[in-house]
């Protein structure tokens, strides 16, 4: 394997580095974008159960804010629960944009890798062809080994660039779709909490349970 990569020329160095970064981003995003980490089960129901209380303590609100991305949005709703629906929704949307921005972390880098990898492979192709033509101009077409080296460099670089680009592109699209799905679910939970605050009877004095 090392000999194959070595035959691709100097352009293989950035391609290998790009592939390492790509794998790191993919593993990190799989861990960060777990549904249980972004939208903990039953969190929305728990918050709706105590959010109307007039005795919500600041540490409970802060614990909710740091609980998860969904918790940060619900905390924004609860913090503005005494305001108008428009103000509450605007606060939730502002927090939601920040949360979605964090969920999209590193995806631009993954998209960049998908874009530049074929270009790096093309650069390796051009480099291999130049090397082959230089051999022809200096030694003619009789040196088959030298000609094969130039062709091999072109093919290996092209294939590696395409493989890295395809993998990066597929996971970039996958994670973009996953973030969108999570964002829609978080918006639905926020809307349910806003509706609960607006339509349910006031529960002043109701004890508050800390968010786990």
Residue 209 has pLDDT above 50, yes or no: no
Residue 96 has pLDDT above 70, yes or no: yes
Q: Which residue has the higher pLDDT, 205 or 137?
A: 137
Lowest mean pLDDT among 7-16, 69-78, 145-154: 145-154
Predicted confidence band of residue 10 (pLDDT cuts 50, 70, 90): confident
Nearest partner of 56 among 88, 78, 34, 87, judged by Cα? 78
Predicted TM-score (pTM) above 0.85:
no
Q: What pLDDT sits at residue 156? A: 85
Residue 144 has pLDDT above 80, yes or no: no
Task: Say how far apart CA 68 and CA 74 lie, in whole Å.
Answer: 10
Q: What pLDDT sits at residue 2? A: 61
* Mean predicted confidence (pLDDT) in 154-182: 94
3-state secondary structure of 1: coil
Task: Say how far apart CA 106 and CA 100 lie, in whole Å.
Answer: 12
Sign of CA dihedral 154, 158, 164, 165: positive
Predicted confidence band of residue 8 (pLDDT cuts 50, 70, 90): low
Over residues 49-85, the pLDDT tens digits come to 887 665 677 888 888 899 899 999 999 998 888 888 8
Predicted confidence band of residue 206 (pLDDT cuts 50, 70, 90): very low
Q: What pLDDT sits at residue 16? A: 92
Task: Say how far apart CA 186 and CA 184 lie, in whole Å.
Answer: 5
Q: What pLDDT sits at residue 1? A: 60
Q: Which strand (E) or helix (H) includes residue 151?
A: helix 144-199
């Amino acid at each position: 394997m090392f000999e194959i990569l070595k035959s691709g020329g100097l352009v293989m160095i950035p391609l290998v580095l790009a592939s390492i970064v790509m794998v790191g981003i993919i593993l990190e995003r799989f861990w960060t974008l777990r549904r249980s980490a972004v939208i903990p089960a039953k969190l929305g129901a728990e918050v709706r159960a105590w959010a109307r209380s007039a005795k919500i303590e600041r540490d409970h609100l802060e614990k909710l804010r740091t609980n998860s991305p969904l918790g940060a949005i619900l905390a924004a709703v609860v913090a503005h629960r005494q305001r108008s629906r428009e103000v509450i929704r605007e606060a939730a949307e502002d927090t939601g944009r920040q949360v979605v921005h964090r969920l999209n972390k590193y995806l631009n880098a993954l998209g960049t890798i998908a874009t530049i990898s074929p270009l790096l492979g093309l650069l390796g192709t051009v480099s291999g062809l130049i090397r082959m033509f230089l051999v022809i101009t200096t030694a003619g077409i009789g040196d088959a080994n030298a000609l094969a080296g130039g062709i091999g460099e072109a093919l290996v670089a092209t294939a590696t660039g395409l493989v890295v680009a395809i993998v990066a592109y597929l996971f970039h699209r996958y994670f973009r779709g996953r973030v969108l799905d999570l964002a829609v679910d978080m918006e639905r939970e926020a809307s349910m909490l806003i509706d609960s605050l607006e339509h349910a009877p006031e529960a002043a004095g109701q004890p508050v349970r800390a968010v786990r």
